[in-house]
Amino acid sequence: MKKKDALPEHKPHTPGTPHASRRKTLQALGGLAALALLPAAVPVARAAAWEGKALRIGHQKSSTLAVVLKTRGSLERRLAPLGLKVEWYEFTSGLPLLEALNIGSLEFSADVADTVPVFAQAAGARLTYVAQETPSPGAQAIVVPEASPIRSLADLKGRKVGLAKGAGAHYLLIAALASVGLTVKDVEVAYLTPADGRAAFERGAIDAWSIWDPFLAGVQRQSKVRLLTGEPAVAQYKRYYLAADAFAEARPDVLAVLFEELRDVGRWVKASPKEAAALLSPVWGLDSDTVELANSRRSYELRAVAPDQLGEQQRIADAFFAEKLLPKKVAATEVRIWTPG
């Protein structure tokens, strides 16, 4: 997390926060392992009542709609009459974000890749699906240097591929390899954060990189690369918004406001690409043209979640379980879902 947006340091142990020793272990292991260590027997019947005065929202740099909403300040204005203030916290990836949501450090999570809730579900996390963005398959890809001898997905056999563990780009690699009769056992996988992945890619330490926007747009515009994935899409790449169960049960009125505000921001971003790029450029640290390219590949169309729309969630869960990345099988439809009134 950025220092200025870091979650408050938990000093004495309080209900809902991990003891110091466990917290250090979770931080050292990273988001994926943290979720895997959450109690599998967490009760999901009914969450404790929520009576907070601040809506704490976690987001990532790639959480476009949340970043725009934060910059505009419109959510704060709408929630002030309801007696709530808004606090924003930036995370480096979706896995630690949902772990923070589950332990009670946040009330709401901005969009995370479709793979991330699967890990939380396997860990018994008490989370509620609030919304999803419609598919954006072009917003992630497997790339290689333009001069690379790798010309197809089949050529990845025996090669080193960098990716963020548990991210949408992780499932993209699994699905892409499966489409040509390969598995991840046929390649060497290097688990890297987006920043480390870009550095490794640029110096030739990995042969290919599975990555999502805006990092994908950045490497496309600043380096000579080729995409190994495209049409037909092997992964839909949806992004999901989630809430802590206790908050979802206590404040459906606030979720309705969040849904409306995020949906309106999504429509504005698509209708005003240059204005949106100009707003996001200094936040992302990317030039406006790169931001506009990234935004052109995301749908940003917000809709409610329905069980019959979770088919790819099940395919993701099955694929990760087969790779022994999940501790148990997951039924994707056995989740809490909030629906607009």
> How would you write the pLDDT of the chain (341 residues) with one tens digit per residue?
443 333 333 232 222 333 333 333 333 334 444 444 333 323 333 345 677 789 999 998 889 999 999 999 999 999 999 999 999 999 888 888 999 999 999 999 999 999 999 999 998 898 999 999 999 999 999 999 999 999 999 999 999 999 998 889 999 999 999 999 999 999 999 999 999 999 999 999 999 999 999 999 999 999 999 999 988 899 999 999 999 999 999 999 999 999 999 999 999 999 999 999 999 999 888 999 999 999 999 999 999 999 988 999 999 999 999 988 898 999 999 999 999 87
H-state helical runs in the chain: 20-29, 31-37, 64-72, 74-79, 94-102, 116-122, 168-178, 194-202, 215-222, 245-250, 252-271, 273-284, 288-296, 311-322
CA–CA separation, 78 and 258 (whole Å)? 10
Prediction pTM value: 0.82
Residues 66, 111: contact at Cβ < 8 Å? yes
Residues 153, 172: contact at Cβ < 8 Å? no
Sequence-ordered list of residues with C-beta below 8 angstroms from that of 308, at least 6 positions apart, any chain? none
232: which 2 tokens? 């037909």
Integer CA distances (angstroms), 45 to 35, 49, 56, 335, in order: 20, 13, 24, 11
CA–CA separation, 322 and 72 (whole Å)? 43
